[in-house]
Structure 1
Amino acid sequence: MHRRDFIKALSAAACAGFFAAPSFGADAKKFKMKFSPRLGFSFGVPTAGRDPIKLMEYFKGCGLLAVEGVCPINHSKKFSPAEIEKQIQIGEKARELGLEVGSLSSMNEKDVPTMTANKVRRADGSIVEDKPALRAMLEGQLETTFGVLERVGSKILIIGPGALDRKLDWRKQYDNVIENMSFCAGICQKRGFVMEIEALNTVKDHPGVFCVNNTLAARIARDVDSPACGILYDIYHEYMQAGNLSSLDDPNVWKSIVSFHVADAPGRNEPGSGEIDYAGVFKKIWDKGYRGFIGLEHGQTVKTPEKDAEILKTYRAFDARV
């Protein structure tokens, strides 16, 4: 089964079950594009606050179709009963409102060469090579993530290969990444989840990471060769790293995309605040047939309810062009 067919099958199952919701109130006209605000990141917070339930109600009223990043996943400690209950409430509210739930960031290590060099951080803070311990860690993190995804009603997790190991040959690191990503993808496929590899920029935000652009992320996904493995095309990170978005025209990149993240560059705020032609980007990906999640992972230049309304109006204008 091809990746997009696998994802469509998962989405259909979700729509038949978790997202089977009655109509909800007299809300604004629905968007066509699946803009998916990351809860609590910035957009909507000045108006609705940080409570995820209130934010979902606000976004539903705005006519948006989806949300993402609905709760944090912290692998350093177990979830408390209250945290688990909150996740359940988020999932129930999403179902009630008819909102789809996009990806959650879970396993995008940035400081340790985990998948690149089979290294783990011990309790004493030391970093050592220990492949069995790494595999156990990856499997445990996946199990934790699956539990959260099931509770909130999502099928997609964000993953990354870790930091670059400057003492190890790059090709050996790449081979390690393929082996470890394949291990994770096999578990995801059996359990009915999709993992998306996120490339991060080293220019400003994440110096030292291994996966620095979407061409490399798509190459990894191709070599993993699983319908449960694709890429998260973060427009901000790609633009910061490459200075352009020409990789969208790469067939291997395009066919690997599971979802997008949005923020303008260089400030990582709302579209229109920086250099990226988002009207052109959204028109392009729509015309190429993309209908999936577009995660709004951006700050905003002014944190006021009036700015929330202005940003919403901007997204309405983008949506009207497609």
Structure 2
Amino acid sequence: MKRRNFLRNGLTATASTLAIGNVFAGADRADLKKEETKNTAAEKTFRLNYAPHDGMFANHAGKDFLDQIRFMHDQGFRGIEDNGLLGRPKDQQDKIGALLAKLGMTMGVFVIDGGENWKIGLTNGKQEHKDVFLKACRDSVEAAKRVNAKWATVVPGFFERNIPIGVQTGNVIDAYRAGAEILEPSGLIMVMEPLSDTPELFLRGSDQSYSICRAVNSPSCKILFDIYHMQRNEGNLIPNIEKCWNEIAYFQIGDNPGRKEPTSGEINYKNIFKYLFDRGYKGVMGMEHGNAKPGKEGELALIKAYRESDSF
């Protein structure tokens, strides 16, 4: 073979080898990039299903709730709450439900509210108030179908001071039994929320809520354990959660004092989140609180606080 042919053939072979090597290297890089993207996505998703609400990220995403939901998803959140869902037009409820289904997100609680939640209602036993509540239950079943909701908040209203506490408790049990009969066929669970906003409210303790759940005796009547309210009303959070565990279907978050995001107050949320995770809780953790700081800076600080508290 002539020397120049030998050199030409050798250069051709070398070029082919380099080309093949580049192809494999490109494939390796592509696989690596896919793996990096996969890992990044996995890191973005929180270990527990924290659920923001309308307005929490409005500075980044704008006022449109659908755009906010998209932003929430991009930040790793996989649930939302919408207390005022019943007041939204049906077409908007449909759009929210469709977007959640597309993004693989879970709808948390909305409030079963016929307009009497913050006044004397179910405690006095009057049929007119019970009828308002039961109508709201029927409306809630239809709204829940549009957004694939599994939980809805109920509160029995204020004390009726002219009626003994035991009789008031019986009146609430009767109303919730009737409500559960409406909700059970659809699988919607009303979660009763003990609150700390004012001592005029009838339902204030986890043990009180537990006894009502046991009396109603329905899979559609459980407890919403709002950690902020329960810290204010009774403290001793993890032991009380443990005592009432079989009747708790939902948790909400808020630090104390101030009712802002975790790390802004006194509650050791990292420890509580670890307990719930280790206990096998798979439900939604509603972020029913405000932002400790205003604007975009406050929204980023909130996300950072959840990353920190979720790193148990």
Partner Cα distance (1:230, 1:54) in 2: 32
> Secondary structure, in 3 states, of the residue corresponding to 2:85?
coil
The question of 1:195 aligning with 2:190 is answered yes
Give the total of aligned pairs.
271
Aligned pair partner of 1:96 in 74, 95, 102:
102
Q: Which has the higher contact order (CA 8 A, sep 6+)?
A: 1
Name 1:48's counterpart in structure 2.
61
Partner Cα distance (2:228, 2:63) in 1: 24
- TM-score computed with the length of structure 2 as normaliser: 0.81
User: Pairwise mapping of residues 16-35 of structure 1 onto structure 2 (< 5 A)?
Assistant: 29-35=44-50
Residue identity opposite 2:120 in structure 1: P
Q: Per-residue displacement from partner, 1:91-133 (whole Å, max 9, x unpaired)?
A: 1111111111111012384433221112xxxxxxxxxxx42x2
| Per-residue deviation, 1:214 | 1.4
Aligned pair partner of 2:51 in 36, 50, 75:
36
Name 1:125's counterpart in structure 2.
none
Higher helix share: 2
Partner Cα distance (1:283, 1:191) in 2: 32
| Per-residue deviation, 1:314 | 2.0
Structure showing greater Rg:
2
Name 2:207's counterpart in structure 1.
215
Residues 164 and 208, structure 1, Cα contact 8 Å, conserved in 2: yes
Partner Cα distance (2:97, 2:300) in 1: 26
| Per-residue deviation, 1:71 | 4.3
Aligned pair partner of 1:271 in 244, 248, 262:
262
Partner Cα distance (1:71, 1:138) in 2: 16
> Secondary structure, in 3 states, of the residue corresponding to 1:63?
coil
Name 1:300's counterpart in structure 2.
291
- Give unpaired runs (5+ residues) of structure 2: 1-39
| Per-residue deviation, 1:243 | 3.7
- TM-score computed with the length of structure 1 as normaliser: 0.79
Residue identity opposite 1:313 in structure 2: K
Residues 121 and 130, structure 2, Cα contact 8 Å, conserved in 1: no
Name 1:136's counterpart in structure 2.
131
Runs of 4+ in 1 over 4 A off after TM superposition: none
Partner Cα distance (1:245, 1:70) in 2: 24
Q: Per-residue displacement from partner, 1:68-98 (whole Å, max 9, x unpaired)?
A: 1174324xxxx6xxx2111111111111111
Name 2:169's counterpart in structure 1.
174
Q: Per-residue displacement from partner, 1:164-213 (whole Å, max 9, x unpaired)?
A: 10110111111111111111112111232111000001xxx233110011
| Per-residue deviation, 1:244 | 3.7
Partner Cα distance (2:292, 2:52) in 1: 16
Residue identity opposite 2:169 in structure 1: Y
Residues 39 and 70, structure 1, Cα contact 8 Å, conserved in 2: no
Residue identity opposite 1:245 in structure 2: L
Bigger CA drift: 304-313 or 268-277? Answer: 304-313
| Per-residue deviation, 1:38 | 1.9
Name 2:93's counterpart in structure 1.
87
Partner Cα distance (2:78, 2:261) in 1: 19
| Per-residue deviation, 1:319 | 2.2
> Secondary structure, in 3 states, of the residue corresponding to 2:294?
coil
Higher strand share: 1
Partner Cα distance (1:267, 1:95) in 2: 34
| Per-residue deviation, 1:57 | 0.3
RMSD value, Cα: 1.9
| Per-residue deviation, 1:29 | 2.5
Residues 94 and 101, structure 1, Cα contact 8 Å, conserved in 2: yes
Aligned pair partner of 1:286 in 261, 265, 277:
277
- Give unpaired runs (5+ residues) of structure 1: 1-25, 119-129
